[in-house]
Every structure is written in C-alpha cells, then in structure tokens.
Amino acid sequence: MTLVFILGPTASGKTSLSIELAKKLNGEIIGADSVQIYKDLVIGSAAPTSDEMQGIPHHLIGTRDLKDEISAGIYISNALPIIEKIEKSGKTPIVVGGTNFYVDALINGLSPVPAADEETMRLWEEKFSPVSTEELFAELQEIDPEWAQNISSPNDRQRIKRGLFVAKTTGKTLSDWNRMARINAYQGKFIAFGIDIERVELYEKINLRTKIMLESGLIEEVRAINKKGFDSSNCKALASIGYIETERYLKGEISSIEELSELIAQNTRHLAKRQLTWLRNRDYVVWKKPVEILKSIDM
C-alpha cells in the first residue's frame, strides 16, 4: 500500500481532490493542518463540511479543543498509528497538507533538537516578552531565513520564538537541526503530489474563498471563540490568517468588513506565495494538475 500526500498552496483545491482520490482508491483522509485540527475552527480554517466529505472517513480534522497544544511531535504521534491502521485495513491513507512542516516531519522525521530546561525557557520568555512579534520575526529572518520562510504567518509568535530560542541556546538554527539525522519518519512507500495551479487562478480562488468565509459567518465564529476565553494570545492557531484579522476587526482596529476582506485575501495571497516557494524546494513533491493526478493514480 502506498501513502499518498496531496500538497499545494492554500485554496488550491486539496480538499476536493483528496475526496475524489479517496473514492477512487478506497481511501481515508488524514488532515495535516495545525488549524483544521481544532473542532471550533471551522470557517476560518476552510475545514471540509460533512457534506463535502461525502462519507469518506476523515482523521485529525476537528478533533482537538482550543486548550490543547499541538506541535509537529504531537501530530506525528497521532498520525502514524492512524496511517498504520488504515493500511492494515487494506485501504489507502491520503494525507492532505495544510501545515507543510507536519508533512515534512512525516516524510523526513523530526529533528533531534535537544530539550531545554524550564529555567532557561523562562529566562528567554522574559527577554522575548516586551518585544513585538514584528520585531521578533524580523530578527528571525536575519538569523534563520529558511525557518522564517517555513512559518505560515508572521503573526505566529510561538513558532517565531521557537526559532529564535533554538538558535540562541544551541548555537545552531532550527534549519541546521532539521538537516541532521531525523527520527520518527514514516517508513513505508509514499508519493507526494503537488497541485500545479496558475497564480492568476489561485488568487481568484483565494479572493472567492475569503468572500465565502465572511458570508458564512467567520466574524461570528471568532466572536464565539473569544467569548469562550480564547484569542491569539493564548491559542496560536488563532494567530493564523483569517482569524487574526477578524480578531483585530472585533477590537475596532479594522474599520470595515470590506477592509477586513481585502486584508485577509492579501495576507492569504502572501501565504500562498511562501508555501509555493517552500514546496518547490522539496524534491519529493511531484507537480501535476488535479486531472493529471487522478489519471496517474494506479495503486
């Protein structure tokens, strides 16, 4: 049995393609998205609805509470047993990317970054605390531009601090560590397809999806989450694009829905560009149009 990865920039059509593949291959879908994994983050994460799933079993989508911490290590520890179970059942596991770092960790394993003691972490947290996320990100871009490019949102303070912390405490950047021998990688045969899409078409899809998200209740979704006591300060998934801008809108920092829509679309386009750059630097990705992917699959 071959593990299939469906990769590509945000809004490129990964969800619909994966479902068509699952129907063709008698497959089950495993999400690899650090936002879709949360059960309360539906509209802003573009998580597939039950109708869109078309009866295909989905895993690691809408399974976690906002209070739960998610990391690549936690994701791998959840995903590998699911993949094994699907394979043993005689079905095809299909991993749908969203957080490319999770996909890379599945394929190449986790880097052996040494653990830090709590006191060291506390001291560095105190140093980072008064510095703005924008300033921290700028510093990370100088110290470890490769890791900075891997971060999906410049508002992801947690991952930015992680990159800086590792570089400053180990003398090696996270990118350096990631090039060393890895642990806990998937050991079986796999094929990773990247969705080949023209930039004009992708940007049109991004603009349309942003409009649909707002019409479907993104503002109400974020308002309800805030009422539960969660925001970008205590849940890093809420610093992702779509959620962070809507949070700012609810705080009065963005004056109109039109401005909110344009900002989300603009930031999503920038994200898509970074994702494409990152994916095109991975030699395991086979780039094809969706129709070509469907035709080429013959397990």
The CATH number of whichever domain residue 65 belongs to comes to: 3.40.50.300
- Residues 153 and 126 grouped into a single domain: yes
Q: The domain that contains 160 carries what CATH number?
A: 1.10.20.140
Would you place residue 150 in the very low, low, confident or very high pLDDT band (cuts 50, 70, 90)? confident
- Residues 130 and 251 grouped into a single domain: no
At 179, give phi and psi (nearest 5°).
-85, -5
- Residues 78 and 124 grouped into a single domain: no
Per-residue pLDDT of 6-40, as tens digits, reads 999 999 999 999 999 999 999 999 999 999 999 99
pLDDT at residue 191 tops 60: yes
- Residues 76 and 185 grouped into a single domain: yes
Range list of H helices, 216-289: 218-227, 243-250, 257-280
Q: Which residue has the higher pLDDT, 221 or 123?
A: 221
pLDDT at residue 180 tops 90: no
Return the pLDDT at 155: 81
Per-residue pLDDT of 210-262, as tens digits, reads 999 999 999 999 999 999 999 999 999 999 999 999 999 999 999 999 999 99
- Residues 71 and 154 grouped into a single domain: no
Return the pLDDT at 113: 81
Q: Which residue has the higher pLDDT, 111 or 277?
A: 277
Residues 227 and 209: their CA atoms lie apart, in Å, by: 25
Per-residue pLDDT of 280-296, as tens digits, reads 999 999 999 999 999 98
Number of folded domains in the chain? Answer: 3
Residues 297 and 254: their CA atoms lie apart, in Å, by: 46
By three-state DSSP, how is residue 134 classified? helix
- Residues 188 and 280 grouped into a single domain: yes
- Residues 66 and 81 grouped into a single domain: yes
By three-state DSSP, how is residue 166 classified? helix
pLDDT at residue 299 tops 60: no
pLDDT at residue 114 tops 80: no
* CB-neighbour burial class of residue 241 (10 A; exposed 0-12, middle 13-18, buried 19+): buried
Return the pLDDT at 6: 98
Residues 295 and 243: their CA atoms lie apart, in Å, by: 36
pLDDT over 90, % of the chain = 82
| 184 touches 78 (CB < 8 A) | no
| 14 touches 98 (CB < 8 A) | yes
pLDDT at residue 298 tops 70: no
Residues 152 and 157: their CA atoms lie apart, in Å, by: 11
- Residues 282 and 268 grouped into a single domain: no
Residue 141: domain span: 118-178
- Residues 77 and 22 grouped into a single domain: yes
- Residues 151 and 21 grouped into a single domain: no
* CB-neighbour burial class of residue 66 (10 A; exposed 0-12, middle 13-18, buried 19+): middle
Alpha-carbon dihedral 256, 258, 260, 264, rounded to 10 degrees: 180
Average pLDDT, the chain: 94
Return the pLDDT at 181: 61
Average pLDDT over residues 66-89: 95
- Residues 14 and 65 grouped into a single domain: yes
Return the pLDDT at 163: 93
Neighbour count for residue 275 (Cβ, 10 Å): 22
CA distances from 67 to 40, 195, 235 (A): 11, 33, 7
Q: The domain that contains 218 carries what CATH number?
A: 1.10.287.890
- Residues 27 and 157 grouped into a single domain: no
